[in-house]
């Protein structure tokens, strides 16, 4: 099963305002895809880049380390995040999102000497039923920063999976696994996403108006 999951901070507080914070949640999104992490993420991140890459390669080849979810797409916004997830094990989406968000809350509260809950509520998840819905969802996720007026083009936002889709660099082997679910041609996908920019901006404006009325 495939879900669109999303959550926001309490009062939409900016919790991803720095590169280090956004990169930390992205590392959590990558790390907790695997069952039974060998160590806490904070300890894992103390390894060198090369050592972390080797560990991820080992995770993928070790039959004892099973993936519980596949991340299909993601976007980190200043006060909230979206992740499209395929469930590979019963109830694994709930386990995965709890691991990601709880890990980040511990990190954030420790870094900024803060106490109390960080997230507005339990993570919301919406079932995706068709290939068309999934394709649209990836576009919607990747256009979030454009619709919010943070950047002009989705590739200008460094905290999403868009560049994995248009093949402009996938970081350390990429995070997302979508090839078995949707057939993506990078040029065609870019055209599809860019053709929906004004529509998504208009939806965002309408939502803003309804929220203030």
What is the residue range of 38's domain? 2-212
Give the model's pLDDT for residue 172.
46
pLDDT digits (tens, 9 = 90+) for 21-79: 999 999 999 999 988 777 788 878 877 878 777 777 777 777 667 889 999 999 999 99
Distant-in-sequence, close-in-space partners of 212: CB < 8 Å, separation ≥ 6: none
C-alpha pair distances (Å), 210 with each of 192, 203, 204, 213: 27, 11, 10, 5
pLDDT digits (tens, 9 = 90+) for 127-163: 999 999 999 999 999 999 999 999 999 999 999 999 9
What are the structure tokens assigned to 209, written together? 């108006």
Instruction: Tell me what the mean pLDDT of segment 157-177 comes to.
Output: 81
Give the model's pLDDT for residue 49.
77
What are the structure tokens assigned to 91, written together? 């109830």
Count the domains in the chain.
Answer: 1
What are the structure tokens assigned to 33, written together? 């895809």
- Residue 170 predicted with pLDDT over 70: no
Do the beta carbons of residue 128 and residue 137 sit within 8 Å?
Answer: yes
% of the chain at pLDDT higher than 70: 92
* CATH number of the domain residue 128 falls in: 3.30.70.1290
Give the model's pLDDT for residue 58.
72
């Amino acid at each position: 099963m495939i879900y669109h999951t999303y959550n926001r901070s309490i009062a939409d507080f900016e919790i991803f305002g720095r590169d280090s914070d956004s990169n930390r949640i992205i590392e959590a999104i990558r790390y907790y895809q695997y069952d039974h992490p060998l160590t806490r993420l904070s300890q894992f991140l103390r390894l060198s880049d090369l050592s972390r890459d080797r560990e991820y390669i080992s995770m993928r080849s070790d039959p004892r380390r099973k993936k519980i979810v596949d991340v299909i797409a993601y976007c980190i916004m200043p006060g909230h995040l979206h992740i499209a997830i395929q469930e590979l094990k019963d109830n694994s989406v709930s386990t995965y999102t709890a691991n990601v968000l709880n890990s980040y809350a511990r990190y954030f509260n420790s870094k900024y000497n803060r106490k109390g809950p960080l997230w507005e509520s339990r993570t919301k998840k919406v079932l995706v039923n068709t290939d068309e819905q999934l394709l649209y969802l990836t576009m919607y996720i990747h256009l979030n920063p454009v619709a919010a007026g943070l950047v002009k083009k989705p590739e200008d936002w460094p905290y999403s999976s868009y560049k994995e889709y248009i093949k402009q660099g996938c970081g350390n082997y990429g995070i997302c696994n979508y090839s078995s679910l949707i057939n993506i041609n990078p040029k065609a996908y870019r055209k599809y996403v860019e053709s929906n920019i004004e529509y998504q901006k208009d939806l965002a404006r309408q939502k803003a108006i309804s929220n203030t009325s």
